[in-house]
Amino acid sequence: MKLAILIARAIFPDVIERLSVYFDVEANQQDIVFSQQELAEKLQGKSGVLCTSSARFDATLLTRLPMLKAVANMAVGYDNVDLAACTAQGILVSNTPDVLNETTADFGWTLLMATARRVTESEHWLRAGHWDKWRYDYFLGADIHGSTLGIIGMGRIGQAIARRSMGFDMQVLYHNRTSLTPEQEVRANNARYVSKEALLSEADHVMLVLPYSATTHHTIDKAELALMKPTATLVNLARGGIVNDLALIDALRSKAIAAAGLDVFENEPKFHPDFLTLNNVVLTPHIASASESTRFAMANRAADNLIAALQNQRPPNLLNPEVVA
């Protein structure tokens, strides 16, 4: 008899077919975002779940799921999962790193370029029918080439972003929990480790690529924004909550910084409506990894992890190896 699993959000049919070889699959192809109560009900009798960051696995929910053995999170970040509570209950937790590094780094540059060169603002102006002549001072933005890029969070994605800066003859500053090796710094366009305060005050463009946790909550707040140059841009493609959105809205409105590019928000998808009143912000709906090949690879990596976990094998991307020990 096959073990039962839940696929908590809509996913590629090929991945459902693949998992169906191993498991009795209940798939949520209607893409309903389950409440905690609905998630608890759907997971009754299930041994595993393939989920996204919209599903929150906290200690309260886990106490209602005695049969659950594996949570395969289709994301790099796993702030939606109480890892300690899962470990205490013997639940294997996994994520999907590496397969999205380059695509996410590409999108970081997409946001940076659009923000610095005022692409969204100028397109809206054009679509509204305001363009009737050329002017020397229309939509003057900030140069990328020859500028200083500051990266907060220098993991795999941060390093991939830094490598791309070589073509723009940029200086790269970074801040991280730990510094890179000298060899890694060279590969990352000779990136230089500095304090967060120095990075914010010196960088022309600041990119956030750090994981969300209680310790990184509001890494960028009013005080940090005040350190930035009034000509600087801020790009967040990491997680909502790393930036205090209200403080950022105030900084953008007062022109304390020039512009921001945001792929993630606090309380998404219900982001703060005041962002829509600002011209100097580029907004995208959490799509940094959204190329077809990358999302397919993420789904299959999550499937790999789930298959291994429920076949008494070590998942390739296990986050709590102490459960296996």
Helix H or strand E encompassing 171: strand 171-175
* Catalytic choice (117, 239, 295, 301): 239
* 163 labelled catalytic: no
Residue 296: how many other CB atoms lie within 10 Å: 15
Cα 280 to Cα 14: distance, rounded to the nearest angstrom: 41
* 268 labelled catalytic: yes
Residue of 254, 279, 284 whose CA lies nearest to 122: 279
* Catalytic choice (26, 268, 272, 314): 268
Question: Can you tell me which residue has the tokens 């296990």?
Answer: 318
* Catalytic choice (64, 192, 286, 314): 286
Helix, strand, or coil (residue 58): coil
* 286 labelled catalytic: yes
Q: For residue 66, is the peptide bond before it cis, meaning its omega torsion is within 30 degrees of 0?
A: no
CA atoms lying within 13 Å on the CB side of residue 144: 18
Cα 305 to Cα 25: distance, rounded to the nearest angstrom: 15
Residues with a catalytic annotation lie at: 239, 268, 286
